[in-house]
Amino acid sequence: MDGILILNKPQCISSNTAARKAMRMLGAKKGGHAGTLDPMAQGVLVVLLGKATRLSEYAMDGKKEYVASIKFGIETDTLDIWGAQTNVDIPSFTSAQLEESLDAFIGDFEQIPPMYSAIKKGGVKMYELARKGQKVELGARHVNVERIELLGNGAPNSADVLLVCSKGFYVRSFCRDLAQSLGTIGVMSGLTRVRSGDFGIAHSYSFEDIEEAIGSGVAASIVKPCDSVLGHMPMVELEYEQAKSISNGRATRILGDEGLARCYFRGSFFAIGSIKSGTLSAKKVLFDLEAL
């Protein structure tokens, strides 16, 4: 099975475990996911099945949208409510100060990721080092926040916010940094990803939904085609000789804007191509022309 499943991941399960479970249910022999969600987070997880795994870099590119809950006055080793408590405080900021601080996070800035993360250092995931008690200096990463909306104001003890941000943005780090800007400490106490790129939670599927689709014999209908993660790229329809050329690693002449493009033959997606100076060459060929 080749395609994209938009999974509504529940809490208390890792992204890898959730993706593997969905794969088993659908009978996919190969798969993965694009954009890790913390085990205690829930919401949109883009699961790549079969040949779609080769498109992971494009599936992770889009903006992310989260609804996050923050608890002020507490600090933990994981920067979320489920970690070991390391400090407490009595916050005293006002609602007006909270809103002013939130506004300061809109735009581009540098963010230090949490120690408990899937980022690798020397080939080892950071959370594995953290569990062994090893502390590693983490460099700041460039991130962007497009929009912040205050959904629930329980100042000075809590807040619920909506965030539209770039890939690589850590909500747990944001909660830590927001609290520091308010002169206190704080952790993430809840997180739901409501959108990843073009995929929203309203059109995602729970494990129960998948089971029901399988039982009704319509499992294929909940799996989107591979090119659904490439909507930001223009499409080009190729003649047989053009398609054959790029499938065999040769360039072909074509009219079109420079950059990446989705390549189709007989209306079926089969490759990602790169157009430069009127020449199209293959970047990734996913499907055999003769099978289309």
**3 state SS of 240:** helix
Q: How far is 187 from 174, CA to CA, in rounded Å?
A: 9
Q: Which helix (H) or strand (E) holds 9?
A: strand 3-9
Rg (alpha carbons) of the chain, rounded to whole number? 22
**3 state SS of 132:** coil
Tokens 């704080």 correspond to 186
Closest CA to 172 of 47, 83, 63: 83
- Label the pairing between strands 259-265 and 235-237: parallel
Taking each helix axis as running N to C, give the angle between helix 95-103 and helix 171-181, from 0 to 180 degrees, rounded to the nearest 10.
130
- Of 38, 80, 177, 227, the catalytic one is 38
What would the two tokens of residue 281 be?
């060459």
Tokens 């809840």 correspond to 190
SS in 3 state form for 81-97? CCCCEEEECCCCCCHHH
Closest CA to 262 of 224, 222, 226, 220: 226
Q: How far is 156 from 133, CA to CA, in rounded Å?
A: 32
- Label the pairing between strands 64-72 and 42-49: unpaired
> Is residue 38 annotated as a catalytic residue, yes or no?
yes
Closest CA to 191 of 67, 71, 44, 46: 67
Residues carrying an active site annotation: 38
